[in-house]
A and B are shown apart, each in its own frame.
Chain A
Amino acid sequence: MQSILPVLAVLGGILMVFAATMLVPLAFAFFGGDAALSAYDGAIAITFGAGLVLFLYCRRFKRELQPRDGFLLVSLVWAVLPAFGALPLMFHLKDLSFTDAYFEAVSGLTTTGASVLSGLDSLPTSINVWRCFMVLIGGMGILVLAVAILPLLGVGGSQLFKAETPGPMKDQKLTPRIAETARGLWTVYFAIALVCFLSLRLAGMGWADAFMHMCSTMGLGGFSSHDASFGYFQSPSIEAVTIVFMLIAGVNFALYFVAWKRRSLWGLLRDVEARTFVLTLVASALGIAVFLTAHGVYPSFGESLRHAAFNVVSVATTTGFATVDYAQWPVFAPVLMLFLCCFATCAGSTGGGIKMIRALLLVKGGRRELRRIVHPRAVVPVTLGQAAVNTDVLQSVLAFMLFYGAVMVGSTMLLLFTGLDVVTAFTATVACINNTGPGLGQVGPAGNYQDLTDFQTWVCSVTMLLGRLELFSILVLFTGSFWRK
C-alpha cells in the first residue's frame, strides 16, 4: 500500500491537468451555445476535485518514482482517466450506460475510434469535439503531456515515458532532459496539428468539422462528427489532405523533432522504418485499386484508386475513417486492410498495432535464422539502417509477439464464448488491439459497437487499453514479482 500512495499523488496531478482539457469542449459549448453546455461544469468539477483530493492527501508520500511505479502509474492513468472522460457524455446523454460511455472514452483516448453512439450528426457539437479532442490528447500520450508540463516528475519522468511510448527501443533520448523531450514532441505534434487544421479548412470543411477531424486524424483515431464519416463530405480534396496527414501522423514523431532541431529532412528520408511504412501503404493502395477495378466494383480505375487510397491508408494507419462501406468490397480487400493495420504504423507515432519496426526486426530475425541453417557458424547481425540491433531488443520483440498473439486469441475466444459470430469477434479484437476502430461484420464500417452486450463491450475496452500500452505495461502488473517487496 505504501508503494501506491506516491503514485496516487501523481495521478491526482494528472487528473487536474485532464480536467483542464475539458475546457476545450466547454468553450465550444459556450460560444456555440449548444445543448450540452451544462454537462461540462459538473464533469470538470468532479475530475478536478478528485485530482485535488488525491494530490493533497497523498502529497506527503511523494518520492522519486521508481521503474515499478512507472508501470503502475501508466496503467492507473489509462484505466482511470476514461472514467472521468466519460462524464460529459453521460451527463448529456442520460440513457447512455457507464459501460458504453467508458468504452467511448477509452476508444477516444486510445485513439481507436470505435463508437457505440449513432446519430452523431444530431449530437451537440461540443460532445463530438470532446470525443475527438480525447483522441488528440491520447495520441501523443497523456503522461508524455504530464511529463512535459508537471514539474513534479524528475527522473521518474523517463520511466513514465518508457512505459507509455510505443516501440521496442526507447533508450535513445532526444534531449538531455526528459521534460524537454516531452515538450519538444508535443510542440511538434501541435505544430503539425495546426497545419492539418488549416489544410482541412482550406479543403472545404467548416471550422468545427476541421477541428474535430484534425484531432481524429493527428491521433489516428477515427472519430467523426458524421455517421457517414468522410462519406459525408464527398470531397476528393478533403480526402487527399486527410490521406497526407494520416501518413504524416503514422511516422515516428521523434524524426520530426530531430528534423526540426537539425533543420534537415535527411534523417526523416533515410529512416528505414518510415520508408517501409510509406512504401507498404502506397503499394497496398495501388494493389487494392487494381483489384477493385478488376472485380468491377467501381467503373473507372480513377474512382477505385480514390476509394482504395483513402480507406486503405485510413485502416492501415489504424485511423478508421471511411468514405464508403468497404466491407462490401470483395473480401480479400478488407481483410488485407485489417492485416495491414496490425503492423503498418511506426513506433513513436500515434498509431497502434505491432509497429513497423517490430515487423522489420521479425522479418530480419527470421531471415537470419534461415541463413544460420545453411551456415551454422555464420555471424549474422540483425541491422536496421547501419546499426546492429541488440539481441535483447529482438527477444523483447519476440516476447511482445507472443503476448500479442495470446491477447488476440484470448479476446476472440471470450467474444465467441458470449455468442458473437466468428467474423465480428475476430475483427473486433483486431480492430481493438490495434486501436483501429471499425472491423467487419457487425462492427464493420457501416455498423458500430452499439449492439454488443455489456460484457463484450468491457472485453473490447480492456483490449484497447492493452493495445495502446503495448501489453507489457499492463501485463506486468499481473505478475507476482511486481508486487513482492
Chain B
Amino acid sequence: MNILILGAGRVGESVAESLASEQNDITVIDTDPVRLAVLQDRLDLRGVAGNGIQPSVLKDAGIEDADMFIACAPLDETNLVACKVAHDVFHVPTTIARIRSPEFQDETALTTDKQTGFGVDQVICPEDSVTRTIRKLIEYPVALQVLEFAQGLLSLVAVRAVPGGPLVQHGLAEIPQLVPNADMRIVAIYRQDKPLTEIDGMTRIEPGDEVFVLAATDDLPNVLAAVRKMDRPVRRLMIAGGGKVGLRLARQLAGQMQIKILEVNRARCDYLATQLPADVLVLNGDSTDEELMDDENVQDMDLFLALTSNDEDNIMACLLAKRMGARRVLALINRKAYADLVQGTTIDIALSPAHAVIGELLAYVRRGDVEAVHSLRRGAAEALEAVVRGDRGSCRISGRRIEEVALPRGAQIGAIVRGLPVAGSDESLALGDKRGDAAPEVIIAHHDTVIQQGDRVIVFMPSKKQVREVERLFQVTATFLG
C-alpha cells in the first residue's frame, strides 16, 4: 500500500515505524529536514521536506499514487486542510486526520463530509484512545491491557500472574475444571519478556508470567479472578499532569471515584478547576514533589497515573508514588525504549500513546476483511479480527477445523464470533435473513471447532512478521465470485 504521512512527530513516527515494517511504501512529509533525515536512515521510507498543505509539496511526495493519506501534524487545522486538499485535489481514496480538539470530533459532518466538510474518512485522536485505554484499565484493575473485538463482545486481556491465583502453577489442560464458570482461551504466555513458542495442555502458568487471555467480555471478571486474585475496584485516583488526557479522564470519572489532579502550571490549574466538577481536587504542584504527594496521602491511592508530556517526569513520579505506597502506578511513556525498560518493574503499566492509536490505523491498511487490529506489547505482537469469506474451495480457512488451518508458528486462533452482520456485502444480506434474529454467539476456540463462512475470527500473532501470512489465509482466491 502506498501511504503518505504528514508530520514526523511522535505519532507520525510511530505510525511510520509500524507501517514501514510491513512492506508498505511510506513517504513522510515534514517541515524539518533534519528530522526526516534521521527517520530515513532508521526506516525504509522516503522523506519529503516542505509544508504538507501545499499541493506542490504533496505532489512531490507522490500523492497522486497514494492509497492513503494520514495527517498527524501537531495542529488540527493543518491536518484538516491537508486532508481536504488530498481528497479534493488528488482524490486520495482514504484520508485520516489526527484531531486533538474534542469539539471537532463532535462535529462529524464538518470533518467527514466529502462535499461541504473536510473529507476526512477517519478521525484519530491519540488522547482519546489513551483515555479509553486507561478507563478500561480502571474498570479491570488487574489487567495490563484490555482490547475489545467484535463490537465489544469479546475481550483480549493481558494479566500478570501472581502467586496465589487459582490457575497459577497449574497446566492449561486443567482450566475447565478449575474455572468452570468461564470459557476462556490463553493465546500467549510471555515469560521474562519472551513468548513461549509451544503452548499446549502441559504448559504451566508461573508467577510473573504475562498471560494473554481471550474471553467473552461478560465473563471477564471471572477470568481475571482465575489468573490472579481480584483486586478491589479503584476508589481513589491521583493524576499527575492535567493535560488533555488528564482533563478528559477526570471529567469522565468524576462522581465515580475520588480524584486528585496535580498540575504544575498555575494558569492551567485555574482552567482545570473551572472545567471540572467541585469534587475533583485540583492541586498546584510538581508531579515529582514528594511533600505534596505525602500531604495528599498518595499512600492511600488505588491508582496513580503519571500523564505529563515528559517521559522522565512520568517515570520518576511513578517510582516515587509506588515507593510512598500507591497501590498501582501507570506511566505514560512515549519512547519505546523507556517503556520496554520499565514495564513490569516497579511501574505496573507503561502506556505508549502512539500505540494506543495505531490499531485503528492498522485496520485500514490490512488486506482482506480485517475488522479490527490491536497492537500488543508495544508493537511487537498483534491481534486481529477478520471476517471469513468464501467456502472451503475458495478460502483456506472456511469450512475447516481449527487444527486444520495452516497458521504460522506461534499464531493462534483464539475465538470465533458467529452471527454478527458483516457490513457492505451482498452475502451478508443473504445470510442476514437466516441469522439476523439470533443473537451473535461467542465461541471460544477448541481444536475441533469448525469455522464457517461469515464468522469473525480473532487471531493472535506473537510477531508482526506473520501478519502477511495470516492475511493471505483470509484472502479469497480468484475463482470465488461472491
Contact = CB atoms under 8 A, between A and B. Distances in A.
Interface of A: 67, 154-155, 157-158, 171, 173-180
Interface of B, helix, strand, loop or mixed by DSSP: mixed
Contact of A158 (B2, B23, B44, B62): B44
Nearest to A172: B46
A157 B46 contact: no
Interface stretch (B35-43, B103-111, B230-238, B424-432): B35-43
B27 interface: yes
Closest 10 CB pairs of A and B: A176-B25, A173-B46, A176-B46, A155-B44, A176-B27, A176-B26, A176-B45, A177-B25, A177-B44, A178-B44
A450 to B, nearest CB: 45
B38 to A, nearest CB: 11
Contacts of B46: 173-177
A157 B40 contact: no
A180 B37 contact: no
A154 to B, nearest CB: 6
12 contacts: A67-B41, A155-B42, A155-B44, A158-B41, A171-B37, A174-B46, A176-B25, A176-B45, A176-B62, A177-B25, A177-B46, A180-B25
Contacts of A171: 37, 40
Contacts of A174: 46
B110 to A, nearest CB: 32
Given A173-B46, A176-B25, A177-B45, 19 more contacts: A67-B41, A154-B44, A155-B43, A155-B44, A158-B44, A171-B37, A173-B40, A175-B25, A175-B46, A176-B2, A176-B27, A176-B44, A176-B45, A177-B23, A177-B25, A177-B46, A178-B44, A179-B44, A180-B25
Nearest to B43: A155
Given A171-B37, A176-B2, A157 B25 contact: no
Contacts of B62: 176
A262 to B, nearest CB: 10
Interface residues of B, number: 16
A157 B45 CA distance: 11
Interface in B1-54: 2, 23-27, 37, 40-47
B66 to A, nearest CB: 10
**Most chain A CB neighbours (cut-off 10 Å) among B23, B26, B41, B44:** B44
A175 B25 CA distance: 8
A116 B457 CA distance: 68
Interface string B303-325: 00000000000000000000000
Nearest to B47: A173
Interface of A, helix, strand, loop or mixed by DSSP: loop
B70 to A, nearest CB: 14
B59 to A, nearest CB: 10
A323 B47 CA distance: 47
Contacts of A155: 42-44
Contacts of B27: 176
Contacts of B45: 176-177
A262 B26 CA distance: 19
A9 to B, nearest CB: 18
Contacts of A67: 41
A155 B46 CA distance: 11
**Most chain B CB neighbours (cut-off 10 Å) among A173, A177, A180:** A177
A175 B41 CA distance: 14
Contacts of A176: 2, 24-27, 44-46, 62
B192 to A, nearest CB: 21
A180 B27 CA distance: 13
B37 A157 contact: no
A451 to B, nearest CB: 47
Contacts of A173: 40, 46-47
**Most chain B CB neighbours (cut-off 10 Å) among A157, A158, A175, A176:** A176
A67 B23 CA distance: 21
A179 B41 CA distance: 14
Interface string B249-260: 000000000000
Contacts of B26: 176-177
**Most chain A CB neighbours (cut-off 10 Å) among B37, B40, B46:** B46
A179 B26 CA distance: 13
A175 B43 CA distance: 13
A178 B46 CA distance: 9
A171 B39 CA distance: 11
Contacts of A154: 44
A93 B25 CA distance: 49
A154 B22 CA distance: 11
Contacts of B40: 158, 171, 173
A177 B20 CA distance: 9
A176 B68 CA distance: 14
Contacts of A157: 44
A154 B23 CA distance: 10
B326 to A, nearest CB: 39
